[in-house]
Amino acid sequence: MSTTIKAPTPAPDETVGRRRPTRGSIGKFLVQGGTTIALIALIVFFFAMRPDVFLTFTNVRNILFQISILAIISGAQTLVMVVGDFDLSLAATAALAGSVAASLMLKGTPTWLAIVIALAVGLAIGLANGLLVAYVGLTAFVATLATMTSVTGTAYLVTSGTTLFDLPSGFNSLGQGRLLNIPGPVYVAIVLGVLLWALLRFTTTGRKWYAIGGNVEVSRLSGVNVSRGRLLAFTAAGLIAAIAGTLLAARLGSASAVQGSDNLLFSVAAVFLGMTVVRSGQANLVGTMVGVGIIGVMSNGLNILGVNSYVQQVVTGLIIIAAVTLSSVRMRAR
């Protein structure tokens, strides 16, 4: 019972590749940077197809304008996915916030107050999601599916099923006005994007979220308040979604109960695409914005080439599959 066979040196396959990722070869680079390369490839492709149009100031501004709302909602989705959950109610929350702001303004509430109340509604929905997930213990899928349903119903009630319009011009200018010839929502998206990036990168709150998303049990035992962390992430996401929804109402000059509902699936897709950008495979803001960029460039570029919108939808799905497949190849290569 005293002798045990053990290798004097570690067996090759137990150590090679797991200590540090191999780097250097071009093939590796192509696989690792798959998603970013896809974005660049799309841009190059559309530029090659329509050099006279695609990278003009007007069209780049167009793209940025078109993806600004999606970028904000995807930012919110990123926060929730960092803690390892996801939120199906974000687009519904955005629509409700827009509807609430619009209906209050039509009843004579001052614009600033209507906006504050709309944002408070988003915050409250996020808080409710957070409580249900972190404290009641529902799964994020069930909790946010349920709130999505109720929130959409509430939005129908608020709008009476109609489209609210004729909003104050001051409000509309938030979404349609331009500074230095660039529309307002683009600035809001950039500022929020930088703020969220810094939040996730530099603050203890953000780092705790990453810890929770990485391993709940270790985080809990290390003194991270896991429930509060998740609550906070959902609440912040609700508030940010409300900003997006209010901005969308201002951008369109109107609000309806289902406005921008496609942002939900696109936001999840953008975050998934973004997760393939970093080595850890975690949700991250920069990656999400690359994902949003892919979705926006695809849609704009295919429109410019005159491709049927049904075909666009098929291609978008295929791009997501390709990017995620590439990154799982990368994981296996590790």
Partner 1 sequence: MSTAVHAPAQAPALEAVGVSKHFDGVFALNGARLSVQPGEIHALLGENGAGKSTLVKVLTGVYAPDDGTIRRDGEEVEFANVRVANRAGVVALYQELSIIPTISVAENILLGERTPSRRGIVQWSTLRRRAKEQLDRLHQRIPLRQLAGELSPVQQTMVSFARALANDARILILDEPTASLTDTEIQELFAVLRSLRADGVAIVYVSHRLEEVFELCDRITIMRNGQTVLTKDVADSTIDEVISTMVGRSPGDLFPDRGTATSDVALTVEGLTGRRVTDVSFTAHRGEVLGIGGLAGSGRSELLRILAGAQKHKEGTVTVNGVTLPHSPGVAKALDAGIALVPEERRSQGVILSASIQDNVALANIATVSSLGMVSGGRIADITKRGMGDLQIKARSPRQPVGELSGGNQQKVVLAKMLARNPAVLLMDEPTRGIDVGTKAEIYRLIRMLAAQGTTVIAVSSELPELIGMTDRVLIMHEGRISGEARSEEADEELLLAYCYGKTI
Partner 2 sequence: MHRRRGPAAVLATLAAVTLTLAGCGSDSGGGSGGGGGKGDDFKVVAFTSGNQTPIGAWWVKAVTAKAKENGWDLKMIQGDFDFQKMNPQVESAIGQGADVILDGYTDVASIGSIVTAAKDADIPIFAMDSATKASDAFALNITTDQQGIVDGTLKVLGDSIGGLQGKNVMVIGHDPHPGIRLRADLALKDLKAAGATIAGGDVQKVKSPATGRTEALALVSDYLTAHPDGLDAVWVGWDDAALGASQAITEAGAKAKVTGSDATSEAVAQIQAGGAFVATANQPWPEVLDSVIDAVKKFQDNGDLPKKNYEAVDTTIVDAKNASTITPSDKLQ
Q: Could you list the residues that contact partner 1 (CB under 8 A)?
A: 1-15, 18-21, 202-205, 207-208, 210-211, 213-215, 217-224, 279-282, 334
- Rounded least distance, CB 7 to partner 1, Å: 4
- Rounded least distance, CB 69 to partner 2, Å: 8
66 near partner 2 (CB under 8 A) = yes
Range in contact with partner 2 (rule: CB under 8 A) among 16-24, 81-89, 198-206, 246-254: 246-254
Shorter beta-carbon distance to partner 1: residue 178 or 334: 334
CA distance 45 to 40: 8
> Are 77 and 87 spatial neighbours (Cβ–Cβ below 8 Å)?
yes
CA distance 289 to 73: 11
> Are 247 and 298 spatial neighbours (Cβ–Cβ below 8 Å)?
no
Site string for partner 2, 31-50 (x = CB under 8 A): -------------------x
Which residues have a Cβ under 8 Å from the Cβ of 58 and sit 6 or more positions away?
none
Shorter beta-carbon distance to partner 2: residue 156 or 187: 156
292 forms bridges with which residues in the sheet? none
- Rounded least distance, CB 253 to partner 2, Å: 7
> Are 175 and 249 spatial neighbours (Cβ–Cβ below 8 Å)?
yes
309 near partner 2 (CB under 8 A) = yes
Closest CA relative to residue 248, chosen from 171, 309, 180, 157? 171
Range in contact with partner 2 (rule: CB under 8 A) among 6-14, 24-32, 204-212, 245-253: 245-253
> How many CA atoms lie within 13 Å of 75's alpha carbon, on the beta-carbon side?
28
Q: Quick one: what does residue 7 bind among partner 1, partner 2, none, with the CB cut-off 5 to 8 Å set by partner type?
A: partner 1
- Type of residue found at 66: Q
Shorter beta-carbon distance to partner 2: residue 147 or 284: 147
154 near partner 2 (CB under 8 A) = no
Site string for partner 2, 174-213 (x = CB under 8 A): --x-------------------------------------
313 near partner 2 (CB under 8 A) = yes
- In this structure, the strands spanning 182-183 and 178-179 are antiparallel
How far is residue 140 CA from its own chain's centroid? 16
Range in contact with partner 2 (rule: CB under 8 A) among 120-128, 208-216, 235-243, 307-315: 307-315
> Are 66 and 248 spatial neighbours (Cβ–Cβ below 8 Å)?
no
CA distance 297 to 283: 21
Specify the residue for token string 């609440």: 235
User: What does the binding site for partner 2 look like in residue numbers (CB under 8 A)?
Assistant: 50, 53, 56, 58-59, 62, 66, 156, 160-163, 165-166, 176, 248, 252-254, 256-262, 299-300, 303-306, 308-310, 313
